[in-house]
Structures are given as C-alpha cells and as structure tokens.
Amino acid sequence: MKNGFLTGLFVWAICLLNAQPQVRIIPKPVSLQQQEGVFLFDKSVQVQAPVARKDVMGVVNYFTNAVKQVSGNTLPVKTAVSGKTIRFHIEPTADVGTEGYRLLVTPAYIEIRAGKPAGLFYAVQSLLQTLPAIRTNQVLQIPCMTITDAPRFKWRGMMLDVSRHFFSPELVKEFIDLLASYKMNTFHWHLADGAGWRIEIKKYPKLTGLAAWRVDDWGKSWDWSQVRFNADRSKATYGGFYTQEQVKEIVAYAAARQVTIVPEIEMPGHSEAAMAAYPEYSCLPHKHSFQESGDFYGKDVHPNYCAGNDSAFIFLQNILKEVMALFPSQYIHVGGDEVDKTSWKQCARCQQRMKTEGLKNEEELQSYFIHRMEKFLIAHQRKLIGWDEILEGGLAPQATVMSWRGESGGIKAAQMNHDVVMSPTGPLYFDYYQGDPETEPLAFGGFNTLKRVYNYEPIPAALNKSQAAHILGAQANLWTEQISSHEHVEYMILPRMPALAEVLWSAKESRNWSDFNQRLQPHLEGFEQRGLRYSKGNFKVDI
Ligand code: TNX
C-alpha cells in the first residue's frame, strides 16, 4: 500500500515535471507562482486589445510579430473576442507603477494588466522568455503562472562606444533588442570621442566629412596619438557615421521597445576628432589641424574645446540643438571626463576667462564650462548628465552624475542631493575581461566576471535613505578600443548584461547566484540557437 502510494506520487511528480517545464525568467520577477497546466497556442487563439490605442498596439504588434517569428502563425487582434484569448489591459488601478505589470496565464486565457504600455511590454518579455528562441513546428505553450512584477531601479542601462569603432545601425538595433529583452530601458549612445565623430550635424559638415574618417592604424596600437584623420578619403580608410535619418529611425525603434536613448557628445575633452575638423574651437588651433602632421594632435597636449572662446560654446550649443531635435531623452550626456588641462594652461584666452570669472584654477574653469552647458540645456527643458569629473571645481546645480571611477563620485553627489547613475569600472566595465585572459579575446584590462556583475549592489552602504533615493540605477559601459566586430560586441555583453538586468530589476533580497545560474541555462541555449556569441569564460572562474 505504502509502496503503491509512493510510486503513484513519483509518477505524478514526473508527469508534472514533464507537463510543466520550469519557468526561468531573467530578471527574476518580484513574485511568480507557477501553476499546473499550460496555455496552448491552438488555432483558436486570438488577441484582445484596445485597437484604437496606438501606444498599446505598438506593444501588441511587437508581441504578435515575435510569436510569428517562432511559430509562423499570425494571431488575430480584435477589440472584443470570446473564447481562447490573450488580453491586454491598460488600467491605472493595476497599481504596479509606470513599468510594472500583472500577468495571469491559465489554460483558457492569458491576461496582462499594466498602468502603462511599458508594463505591458515587460509582461510580453516575460511571456516570450517561456517560448522557444527560434522557429519550431511545435505548437507553442506557456506554463500557467501568476506574476506581479515591477523594477527596483528606473535607470537600467548600457552604454555603447561607437567612436573608437563604428558599428552599423543593424548592430545598434540588435543591441537595443537585447537590452529590451532583459527589461533594460536606457541606451547610452557614446556618439563622439577622440577617435571619431559619428553623428551627422547639418550645420557642421566637416564633423562627418572629416572627423568620422581616420587612417586605420588603430589595429597596430590603440594609443590615441596614433589616430590620424585625413581630408583625403582615399587615405582615411576607416570610419562611418549615422545620418540624421538613421538616428531618427533608431530612436523610434528604441522607443517601440521602451528604451530611451541618451546621446553623449563629449566635451570639453575627448574632442580630438572634432578639433581635427574645426581646430578654430580649440585653444591651440595651429597644433590641431589635421593637415599639419601625421599625428594630428601632439602627444604631450590633448586638445580641448577652448573655455576662453565664446564661439566654442556656440559651436557646441548649435550641435546640441540638432542633437536635441533628434533625441526626446530628458537627459543629454556631455561627457566631461579625463580633461587634460594643459592646453587651457597654455591659452591666454582661458587664463583671461579665469581672471574675469574669478576662477582659481583649471578645475574651476572646467566647472564653469559644464555650468554654462547646463544652463543651456535647462533653457531647452533638458537635464545634464556627465561623468564624475563634473564634480571637480563645483558641480552644476542640477547635474546628474555618472560615477565611473568607483562609487565615490556617486556617493558624494548623492550626499549633495544630486541624482546619480552608478557605473563603476569594477564590475560594470564590460570592456574588461570576463574570464581567464589566456583564453579570452584581448580586452582593455581589468577583470569583471559574471559573478561579480551579478553580486553588484548599486546602493552604497554609506548612504542614508533619502540620499539612496538619488541613485537612479546603474549601467554597464562597453568601450570599444579593442572591439571592432558585431560578434565581439555580443560576446562582451553576453551573458553579463542579463546579470546586470537582474541587479537592476529584481528585489535585492531575492538575488541568488546559484539560482541565477540555473535560470541562465535556457538563455545560453537560446543564444546558441540564435547564433549569438557569448563568453563561456565566466563559467571557468568562480570569482
Ligand atoms: C575610461 S570611462 C574612459 C574611456 C575609456 C575607458 C576604457 C570614461 C568616462 N573614460 O574613454 O574608453 O576608460 O575602459
């Protein structure tokens, strides 16, 4: 009797396991209960949605396209249907914030409820993670479950540097797709740096005519002094830029995936490319003309925008006007990092500016520079964000700080009641190694394993509750000095980006490294099936 009962229990358990593959969603939902049974996508399934609402229909179409990709079937969408349905509801009473959602999957219907389209979109991502990664001929099924979910942080980001190497619009879209599939919502697009200018600015055609193209000796050395721009395109063999039309398309593509693009135009340093094209806005124009020498800027002095020259500010503001017209983002990133102050020290106009403004040193001149840009951005209803060097010499009144040299800049800013995005080199620089350097592709340096990324906590213990509220979230940065191919970009962000997504979305107490590893397995299989490159080096080290 006892034996029979145990055998029965065993058989029942096996059936249950067979019938219900365990749901393995990343980032882990705040609350998920899996129930017995599945919702089967038989021929009768229809979608019910408020078809007059464009914003909701964007999400619904995204969902039906995704289902079509893995099954070949097109789900009909109607305002009211009976029978087997997948229902999309927007209701302010859903009570899950602006990005949260409630999801109920039963054998008879699927119901998604959210206060905003973003929540519906994230519910869709949870559903899609339970479907096959690629086209199959099997009838699709989703395990029965109840989810209530909402993110912990509002800035869930990744940065891509397209200056050191240029990446096609297709790669940028794929990057955005990957972010969206893990419920990340911010794409920081590093569009201008010393090694190349990448966005069309109609008023200043030399930025793309000249500063987007270089003699590609980058491969021999990634010493920036080796980068040479050249007016003669036959000699400038490497480069590229995004036209304004392409930018608009990418911005819309991201918006349809609930991703905001924060554009970055570096100033006052990291400006070599722009200075090659428009040396008149640097302090030492004779040194920075691309025509004069092979190395377009002296190895001893990096050019900056001239802080003593009003026309340099006007130049940048005209650029930002075009940038703002393309990007609806509330935040505009102005860089601000690693400013070599030598050229300002040697510049009579900068020294004069310091006198008239009562500035004690070049750090204060840098602060003056950023203050002036902030005023301009605020006048255009935008917010300034910059790397943590913008703290030096005095932080602009409403600036948001992106803390990269560890967390100390972020801590300081939060203590001054400024908003902060955490992005410390350890562990959030994804240009660093993720496994044994002996077996990984050449990386910038450093060592940021999957486990270290997973265990990252964006809120420093040093902050009290009200200061902690200034931590908007975090982001990882993919600098591309060493990365030139589409495949290599995938490789560096997978699987670390999903780990970061869980840090930023899931409840702190629910994070568990071994549980994450288990949930990651089907995602890795999905990467394989979809031909996405990812590093396996993470699994050979346990630090
Ligand atoms: C520092 S992070 C930089 C970048 C480099 C990166 C390499 C930051 C604001 N500046 O210009 O690409 O290190 O990891």
The one-digit pLDDT tens for each residue of the chain (543 residues) are: 445 555 545 444 444 445 567 899 999 999 999 999 999 999 999 999 999 999 999 999 999 999 999 999 999 999 998 899 999 999 987 789 999 999 999 999 999 999 999 999 999 999 999 999 999 999 999 999 999 999 999 999 999 999 999 999 999 999 999 999 999 999 999 999 988 999 999 999 999 999 999 887 666 666 666 778 877 778 888 999 999 999 999 999 999 999 999 999 999 999 989 998 999 999 987 776 665 444 455 556 778 999 999 999 999 999 999 999 999 999 999 999 999 899 999 999 999 999 999 999 999 999 999 999 999 999 999 999 999 999 999 999 999 999 999 999 999 999 999 999 999 999 999 999 999 999 999 999 899 999 999 999 999 999 999 999 999 999 999 999 999 999 999 999 999 999 999 999 999 999 999 999 999 999 999 999 999 999 998 887 778
User: What pTM was computed for the model?
Assistant: 0.95
Please count the CA atoms within 13 angstroms of the CA of 100 that sit on its side-chain side: 20
Mutate to test the pocket of ligand 1, among 338, 340, 481 (most ligand atoms within 8 A of CB): 338
Q: Is 270 a catalytic residue?
A: yes
Q: How many CA atoms lie within 13 A of 287 on its CB side?
A: 15
Which domains are seen in the chain, by residue range?
20-149 (3.30.379.10), 155-514 (3.20.20.80)
Write down the H helix ranges in 402-479: 408-415, 425-428, 450-454, 465-468
Type of residue found at 98: T
Ligand 1 pocket test: pick from 223, 262, 337, 442 the residue with the most ligand atoms within 8 Å of its Cβ.
Answer: 337
Helix axis angle, 362-379 relative to 348-357, nearest 10°?
70
Cα(124)–Cα(244) distance, rounded to whole angstroms?
31
Do residues 305 and 282 touch, judged by C-beta distance below 8 A?
Answer: yes
Q: Which entry of 270, 288, 333, 470 is annotated as an active-site residue?
A: 270
Closest by CA to 429, choosing from 418, 417, 414, 444, is 444
438-471 exposure pattern, b = at least 16 Cβ within 10 A, e = fewer: eebbebbeebbbbbbbbebebbbeebeeebeebb
Q: Please, which residues bridge with residue 80 across strands?
A: none
DSSP letter for 308, please. T
Q: What is the CA radius of gyration of the chain?
A: 25
- The DSSP symbol for 523 reads H
Question: How distant is the alpha carbon of residue 364 from its chain centre?
Answer: 31
Q: Is 337 in the pocket of ligand 1 (CB under 6 A)?
A: yes
Give yes or no for a contact between 374 and 315, defined as CB atoms under 8 angstroms apart: no
Residue 431 CB less than 6 A away from ligand 1:
yes
Q: Is the CB of 175 under 6 A from ligand 1?
A: no
**How far is residue 404's CA from residue 455's CA, in Å, rounded to a whole number?**
17
Which residue, among 304, 294, 299, has the nearest Cα to 272 in the 3D structure? 304
Is 193 marked active-site?
A: yes
**CB under 8 A, 24+ apart: contacts of 420-424:** 420/470, 420/471, 420/472, 421/155, 421/157, 421/385, 421/471, 421/472, 421/473, 421/474, 421/475, 422/458, 422/471, 422/473, 422/474, 422/475, 423/159, 423/474, 423/475, 423/476, 423/477
What amino acid occupies position 121? F
Measured from the CB, is residue 297 less than 6 Å from ligand 1? no
- 541, HSE (Cβ side, Cα atoms, 13 Å): 19
Quote the distance between the C-alpha of residue 329 and its chain's center.
13
Ligand 1 touching residue 344 (CB < 6 A): no
CA angle at 69 for the pair 68 and 73, rounded to the nearest 5°: 25
CA-closest residue to ligand 1 atom 9 = 337
Residue that has been written with the tokens 């200056």 in this structure: 163
